[in-house]
Structure 1
Amino acid sequence: MAMARASSGLAYPDRFYAAATYAGFGGSPNSSSKGVTSKFSNDVALLLYALYQQATVGPCNLPKPRGWSPVEQSKWTSWNGLGTMASIEAMRLFVKILEHNSKMGLPTKGEVALPETKTIPSENGNSGETQDKDVMVEGLGSVGVYDQWVAPPVSGPRPKPRYEHAAAVVDDKMYIFGGNHNGRYLNDLQTLDLRNWTWSRIEVKANSEAPAAVTPCAGHSLIPWEGNKLLSIAGHSKDPSEVVNVRAFDLQTCTWSTMKTYGKPPVSRGGQSVTLVGTNLVIFGGQDGNRTLLNDLHILDLETMTWDEIDTLGVSPSPRSDHAAAVHAERYLLIFGGGTHATCFNDLHVLDLKTMEWSRPTQQGEIPSPRAGHAGVIVGESWFIVGGGDNKSGVSETVVLNMSTLSWSIVTTVEGRAPLASEGLSLVLNGEDVLVSFGGYNGRYNNEVNLLKPSHKSTLQATMSGTPALDSGSGVQNATNGTRDVELEFEAGQEGKIREISMDNNEPQTNQVNEVIAALKTEKEELESALDKEKSQSLQLKQELIEAESKNTDLYKELQSVRGQLAAEQSRCFKLEVDVAELRQKLQTMETLQKEVEILQRQKAASEEAYAKQRQSTGGVWGWLAGTPPPIQKPNDA
């Protein structure tokens, strides 16, 4: 392998390509044009060439050829399309294709070509081509591998890398709106054609209701509605409004408008979940503009555009944002994961939309690790969860939850720094039940598109490993309401005992059977009575819990009030301290002035005393001015 890496250019692999073609993958040199050489066999030869190059030389670092022949162009494209696939996996896939074609023979001319997709390496370097993976061959742009992420050959101007954006699919087109890039909110609208994988930017037009440039936002939700509209709900922005706004984008006129709603709208927020249930939008949690985490529940009726805040029963999920939500059987709202400013969750909560009661059922299987910023889509009864992080690193596992059994399983794992292991990525489902992810942040902002086609194995694995936990007719089974299970078990025990008596006795023993049945009925009545008592106690405990929560809420409000009063008193105390300091400074100034006054007074008294003495000795200044001579001293006075 070291000698092969020392080789430069495409000279040495040319001999391998010719040998592979001659060996039956591209037709022999002497074969005629009667159909021996097909497009499929040429593509297989190109793929073998690319895999061999990847295994011996490594990823393609050569510039794209310009003046070479079309064959050289095709070989470069095939090799470059493998990206950073590990060398050992390239050689493994190379050998596997050789073995497969040697056993199955050459494909006929009518079969389709291998897709030009790039495999996303798994965490341990495995490209996913294991015995557990089912491989199929489809046309260009389609997914050729089950339960594994691949990168399609996209074209057109790619959107700016971002996370916390919103995505939705309408008519085989994925729409991307807004998001966060380098701390700046975005408001562009991009679309990816899911048939030819071409990006394009939508030029938004202004109208009388809204300008062309709408408010940039992130952490919002995008919901397709009425076939030709996209609803953008909530989200963080630079200058947030007080309440949640609902904006609609018309795909025909390419214009935005703000929809008028009625009732009491929720407080403005981002990182919430918005789930479409029939004609209602169910909004849960999120984080408001003051970074306060929320766990309230609101419903917007899209027919009347009326908001309704829901008072639920049971224990609600703790306040959180960046969680994932899904609806099962048009009745059960599932909330998974999310986080606070310092903690991430992996709990699962279920809300019965008929009774509006929360429950926290037991999860089965391989329970995912705590995460926030993940995304999910539903395929049948399977809920696929991708990405997210735990404040330390991105989550590399793609997991699936069977919503009937509440059993988890791992679909695939990618490398820790791959775009799939990102927070704030988007995940949608196209018409072929293919998962499409875009963007995210895992240390850098991404704008890559990746695809995963679930196999029947991944969607059925969780079902086979669990027992039904969600039933559209019976509701969520909690630990406190297992009455139906006990009754069924008791009735099954009854039938079993009766069958044992019938089989152990060759002759009819009606009386004995009747006695046993009577005893069993009595036992059943006693059990039912005990279960009724348990139900009563359970309801009483629930009521006490609700009362305790209500008292806790009142105490919390009182605590907040006391805190407010304490803050006001602290502010008043601080103001008084400032006033005292000012008064002390004035007092010191007054003492200094008083000392100066005393000094001046003493100086004045001394001056007056000196003046009086001088006046007595000279007759005074006025006498001298008047010309009065001083008194003559008599001789006898001497």
Structure 2
Amino acid sequence: MALARASSGLAYPGRFYAAASYVGLDGSDSSAKQVSSKFSNDTALLLYALYQQATVGPCSVPKPSTWNPVEQSKWKSWQGLGTMSSIEAMRLFVKILEEEDPGWYSRASNSVMEPALDYQINQNTKDEPVVENETSCVETKTISTENGPLAETQDKDVVSEHPNTVPVYDQWTAPQTSGQRPKARYEHGAAVIQDKMYIYGGNHNGRYLSDLHALDLKNWTWSRVETKVATEPLESSSPATLTPCAGHSLISWDSKLLSIGGHTKDPSESIQVKVFDPETSTWSTLKTYGKPPISRGGQSVTLVGKSLVIFGGQEAKRSLLNDLHILDLETMTWDEIDAVGVPPSPRSDHVAAVHAERYLLIFGGGSHATCFNDLHVLDLQTMEWSRPSQQGETPTPRAGHAGVTIGESWFIVGGGDNKSGVSDTVVLNMSTLAWSTVTSVQGRVPLASEGLSLVVSSYNGEDVLVAFGGYNGRYNNEVNVLKPSHKSTLQSKSMEAPVRDSVSAVHNGTTRDIESEIEASQEGRVREIVMDNVNHGSKVQANNGDTLETLKTEKEELEASLNKEKLQSLQLKQELAEAESRNTDLYKELQSVRGQLAAEQSRCFKLEVEVAELRQKLQTMETLQKELEIMQRQKAASEQAAAINARRQSSGGVWGWLSGGPQEMVDSP
């Protein structure tokens, strides 16, 4: 599919402007009169709307008067395209023209093609600044696929193409970047904040890194972020020790970066959560409560609502883990979860994703000698593990891969199996648990690496995957971009259906194959909207009276719908106010409990001091008691000796004999 799209040229503006000139919409005449002379009224209005969307953008002009039915039909056709990107409008314009007039390109004369190309050059260069050291004829670097290497992307209709346009779907390309690229690395962390991809830490030649870099995803410019460490503790954080690390997790939260865990040279006993504030360029350490997990690296960290779910990893003594912990980011409290069911075996370097804010999915990873390709699901409401059945071709075992989600699609890139790097990019539909392959690369390229990073960002109104770094025999620091065509067509309510229901449907043989619907959904939905508006415009031209009645009916329906939406909005505001009130009460209660705990801790400390003082006094009293006993014995001995001496002095002579005293025996000479 990627090859077909690349060869068709539908993604290139050059073919669009040639087509617009061919049908009469070349920038000089936007009345659609020339278009109407070549096509039916419905097709002409559709082409006009797509042309306006591609060259002007979403409709922002006021609605024409009802007395001008032609202009109103054109306005409604344009308005029906919503916020469709200009590139997509160009692609649909050429596609519809080729369906209606397959031989248009061969019949277009040079007099038509050359002004179209000149107009395209003016459009491309009108609003773009001149960049030094950058050629005007761009050569887009592509990655070879499983069907053979692609030719260099250089369509004959393209005269001036922006160097970082992502021209085709489901194909990795390497954009041109400027600025100082970060040092090559793997096992680093990556996250996106406001159109900037931040790269932090990692491993290079066995050395842990602590540098922070940012890639501006609008102009693809690298810059190194000079950081500092907080010196004064805050209420929610304390001064950080910026230790080089690898195998950590980098999460974007509240316009800040959270770095969780990671391998370090001198690991701490428990896992650390560091926070980086881009506004102040300052690192600090979050103050957490409860019992934190032991320090580790290679774990998965998933943001679920306002909580971080941490699973597995490898601790400092190289023991593999499969424990589960949750950090509440509102109360900053750790909670160790004892889930039921059979958990995944101990592992590290796996990936995790959340579906419908309820189901945690774990895929792959490795032990010391084995790589896995199993899929496990944790119901975060019942805290129960399960291992559901999967559809499609299950990916090969891998560890050190990276994954991101777009809607219901979970994209997984890279990794290794202890033998070689994994070359395929796969996607899992998290509702149907169906696997499919997006594309595959050949050779020892950075995308077939372990420890690479993958983020999702918006470029020209479309979601793109951005990969960086990795190790596949050498350390990499290249950037690769892919624009996926797999997009969920289901509404948010459908995501509430549990994964287990999808698994049950698979067992019953009722799972639908929706890949074709996904690929055709955008075109079909756009055309249906526009054609409905076109048909309505034809009726306006036929009967102005019916138009007024229809407009009145639509107005009444819109007013009724608006009133209903207002009522729902009021109810939601009331529920939000109640929730905020409960949250405020809970926060006050939490603060009160914390105050009581602090008071009890202070009282406990005072009691411990008093106990220590009493023990010291008791020891002093025991010493005095011993000294008193010794003195009493000495006194008794002295009194006894004095009594004996007194008796000796008073004994002998007549007075002694008369008093009955003892006679001393005197030896005669």
TM-score normalized by structure 1?
A: 0.55
- Residue deviations 1:109-149 (CA, integer Å, cap 9, x gap): 4446686531112245322899xxxx9x9744221111000
Preserved CA contact (<8 Å) 2:239 2:285: no
Q: Letter of the aligned partner of 1:144 in structure 2? A: P
3-state SS of paired residue (1:408) = strand
Preserved CA contact (<8 Å) 1:204 1:212: no
CA distance in 2, matches of 1:102, 1:203: 57
- Residue deviations 1:233-255 (CA, integer Å, cap 9, x gap): 00000000011000001101101
Which residue, out of 447, 450, 458, partners 1:423?
450
Partner of 2:551: none
- Structure 1 residue ranges without an equivalent (≥5): 1-24, 26-33, 36-98, 465-469, 488-638
The answer as to 2:248 corresponding to 1:220 is: yes
CA distance in 1, matches of 2:395, 2:368: 20
Q: CA deviation at 1:344?
A: 0.4
Preserved CA contact (<8 Å) 1:283 1:298: yes
The answer as to 2:394 corresponding to 1:367 is: yes
- Residue deviations 1:297-327 (CA, integer Å, cap 9, x gap): 1000001000000111111011100001000
CA distance in 2, matches of 1:237, 1:442: 22
Preserved CA contact (<8 Å) 2:300 2:350: yes
Q: In the superposition, relative to structure 1, how do residues 289 and 109 fare at CA in structure 2: closer, same or farther (>3 Å)?
A: same
Preserved CA contact (<8 Å) 1:333 1:350: yes
The answer as to 2:173 corresponding to 1:143 is: no
Q: Letter of the aligned partner of 1:204 in structure 2? A: T
Q: CA deviation at 1:476?
A: 1.2
Which residue, out of 350, 353, 372, partners 1:345?
372
3-state SS of paired residue (1:364) = coil
3-state SS of paired residue (1:476) = helix
- Structure 2 residue ranges without an equivalent (≥5): 1-17, 19-26, 29-102, 125-136, 233-237, 511-669
Preserved CA contact (<8 Å) 2:257 2:277: yes
Partner of 1:193: 216
Partner of 1:152: 175
Q: In the superposition, relative to structure 1, how do residues 474 and 391 fare at CA in structure 2: closer, same or farther (>3 Å)?
A: closer
Q: In the superposition, relative to structure 1, how do residues 129 and 409 fare at CA in structure 2: closer, same or farther (>3 Å)?
A: farther
Partner of 1:261: 288
3-state SS of paired residue (1:148) = coil
- Residue deviations 1:328-375 (CA, integer Å, cap 9, x gap): 111111100000010000000011111111110111112100000000
Partner of 2:278: 251
Q: CA deviation at 1:189?
A: 0.2
3-state SS of paired residue (2:446) = coil
Q: Which has the higher contact order (CA 8 A, sep 6+)?
A: 2
- Residue deviations 1:14-73 (CA, integer Å, cap 9, x gap): xxxxxxxxxxx9xxxxxxxx99xxxxxxxxxxxxxxxxxxxxxxxxxxxxxxxxxxxxxx
Which residue, out of 160, 163, 169, partners 2:186?
163
3-state SS of paired residue (2:228) = coil
Identity among equivalent positions (%) equals 69
- Residue deviations 1:157-191 (CA, integer Å, cap 9, x gap): 01000000000000000000000000000000000
Q: In the superposition, relative to structure 1, how do residues 365 and 204 fare at CA in structure 2: closer, same or farther (>3 Å)?
A: same
3-state SS of paired residue (1:430) = strand
Once structures 1 and 2 are overlaid, which stretch shifts more, 308-317 or 173-182? 308-317
3-state SS of paired residue (1:248) = strand
CA distance in 2, matches of 1:389, 1:186: 22
3-state SS of paired residue (1:186) = strand
CA distance in 1, matches of 2:443, 2:506: 45
Preserved CA contact (<8 Å) 1:337 1:371: yes
CA distance in 1, matches of 2:293, 2:240: 26
**Superposition pairs of residues 71-82 of structure 1, within 5 angstroms:** none
Q: Letter of the aligned partner of 1:165 in structure 2? A: H
Preserved CA contact (<8 Å) 1:395 1:416: no
Which residue, out of 291, 303, 319, partners 1:276?
303
Q: Letter of the aligned partner of 2:297 in structure 1? A: G
**Superposition pairs of residues 25-424 of structure 1, within 5 angstroms:** 105=113, 107-111=116-120, 117-123=140-146, 125-127=148-150, 139-209=162-232, 214-227=242-255, 229-424=256-451
Q: Letter of the aligned partner of 2:350 in structure 1? A: H
Q: CA deviation at 1:277?
A: 0.5
Computing the radius of gyration from Cα coordinates, the structure with the larger value is 1
3-state SS of paired residue (2:183) = coil
3-state SS of paired residue (1:365) = coil
Partner of 1:585: none
Preserved CA contact (<8 Å) 1:115 1:142: no
CA distance in 1, matches of 2:150, 2:213: 30
CA distance in 1, matches of 2:240, 2:315: 26
Q: CA deviation at 1:478?
A: 8.9
Partner of 1:454: 484
The answer as to 2:471 corresponding to 1:444 is: no
CA distance in 2, matches of 1:389, 1:249: 31
TM-score normalized by structure 2?
A: 0.53
CA distance in 2, matches of 1:172, 1:474: 32
Partner of 1:4: none
3-state SS of paired residue (2:399) = coil
Preserved CA contact (<8 Å) 2:365 2:400: yes
The answer as to 2:506 corresponding to 1:476 is: no
Q: In the superposition, relative to structure 1, how do residues 263 and 409 fare at CA in structure 2: closer, same or farther (>3 Å)?
A: same
CA distance in 2, matches of 1:325, 1:261: 23
Q: Letter of the aligned partner of 2:368 in structure 1? A: H
Preserved CA contact (<8 Å) 1:402 1:459: no
- Residue deviations 1:394-440 (CA, integer Å, cap 9, x gap): 00000011111100111111113010000000000112310000000
Once structures 1 and 2 are overlaid, which stretch shifts more, 428-437 or 300-309? 428-437
Q: CA deviation at 1:217?
A: 0.1
Preserved CA contact (<8 Å) 1:313 1:357: yes
3-state SS of paired residue (2:458) = coil
Q: Letter of the aligned partner of 1:164 in structure 2? A: E
3-state SS of paired residue (1:241) = coil
CA distance in 1, matches of 2:167, 2:407: 21
CA distance in 2, matches of 1:426, 1:486: 37
Q: How well do the aligned residues superpose, as a CA RMSD in angstroms? A: 3.2
Preserved CA contact (<8 Å) 2:140 2:152: no
CA distance in 1, matches of 2:451, 2:366: 13
Q: CA deviation at 1:205?
A: 2.1
Q: In the superposition, relative to structure 1, how do residues 349 and 212 fare at CA in structure 2: closer, same or farther (>3 Å)?
A: closer
Partner of 2:22: none
Q: In the superposition, relative to structure 1, how do residues 172 and 478 fare at CA in structure 2: closer, same or farther (>3 Å)?
A: closer
3-state SS of paired residue (1:434) = strand
Preserved CA contact (<8 Å) 1:295 1:317: yes
CA distance in 1, matches of 2:416, 2:107: 44
Q: Letter of the aligned partner of 2:164 in structure 1? A: G
Partner of 1:8: none
Q: In the superposition, relative to structure 1, how do residues 246 and 485 fare at CA in structure 2: closer, same or farther (>3 Å)?
A: same
Q: In the superposition, relative to structure 1, how do residues 449 and 418 fare at CA in structure 2: closer, same or farther (>3 Å)?
A: same
Q: Letter of the aligned partner of 2:482 in structure 1? A: L
CA distance in 2, matches of 1:361, 1:353: 15
CA distance in 2, matches of 1:376, 1:405: 18
Preserved CA contact (<8 Å) 1:177 1:188: yes
Preserved CA contact (<8 Å) 2:399 2:450: yes
